[in-house]
Amino acid sequence: MSDQVEQAEETVETLHGCPVVYSRDQKVLLVSRDQYVSVVKSLLIDGFDVCIDLTGVDYLSLPNRVVGAGVQPERFEVVVNLLSLTKRERIRLRVQVPADDTTLASLFDVHPGTEAHERETYDMFGITFEGHPDMTRILMPEDWDGHPLRKDYDQGFIPVQFKGTNS
Question: Is residue 156 a part of any domain in this protein?
Answer: no
Lowest-confidence region among 9-18, 25-34, 41-50 = 9-18
What pLDDT is attached to residue 162?
73
Question: Is residue 61 a part of any domain in this protein?
Answer: yes
CA distance to 35, 55, 119, 134, 137, per residue, from 18 (Å): 8, 20, 26, 30, 32
Residue 49 corresponds to which amino acid? D
Question: Is residue 115 a part of any domain in this protein?
Answer: yes
Number of independent structural domains in the chain: 1
Give 118-164 pLDDT, tens digit per residue.
999 999 999 999 999 999 999 999 999 999 999 999 887 777 777 76
Q: By the 8 A CB rule, do 133 and 115 touch?
A: yes
How many other β-carbons are positioned within 10 Å of the β-carbon of residue 105? 18
Question: Is residue 144 a part of any domain in this protein?
Answer: no
Mean pLDDT value of segment 35-45: 98
How many other β-carbons are positioned within 10 Å of the β-carbon of residue 19? 18
- Note down the domain range covering 69: 7-130
Angstrom distance (rounded) from CA 23 to CA 141: 36
Angstrom distance (rounded) from CA 119 to CA 111: 14
pTM of the model: 0.87
Give 81-112 pLDDT, tens digit per residue.
999 999 999 999 999 999 999 999 999 999 99
Length of the chain: 167
CATH of the domain at 18: 3.30.460.80
What pLDDT is attached to residue 165?
63
Question: Is residue 31 a part of any domain in this protein?
Answer: yes
Question: Is residue 165 a part of any domain in this protein?
Answer: no
Long-range CB contacts (within 8 A, 24+) of 131-135: 131/105, 131/106, 132/106, 132/108, 133/108
Contacts of residue 87, defined as CB under 8 A and 6 or more positions apart, other chains included, come to 47
Question: Is residue 19 a part of any domain in this protein?
Answer: yes
What pLDDT is attached to residue 9?
52
Res 5 pLDDT > 70: no
Angstrom distance (rounded) from CA 81 to CA 31: 13
Question: Is residue 2 a part of any domain in this protein?
Answer: no
Q: By the 8 A CB rule, do 151 and 61 touch?
A: yes
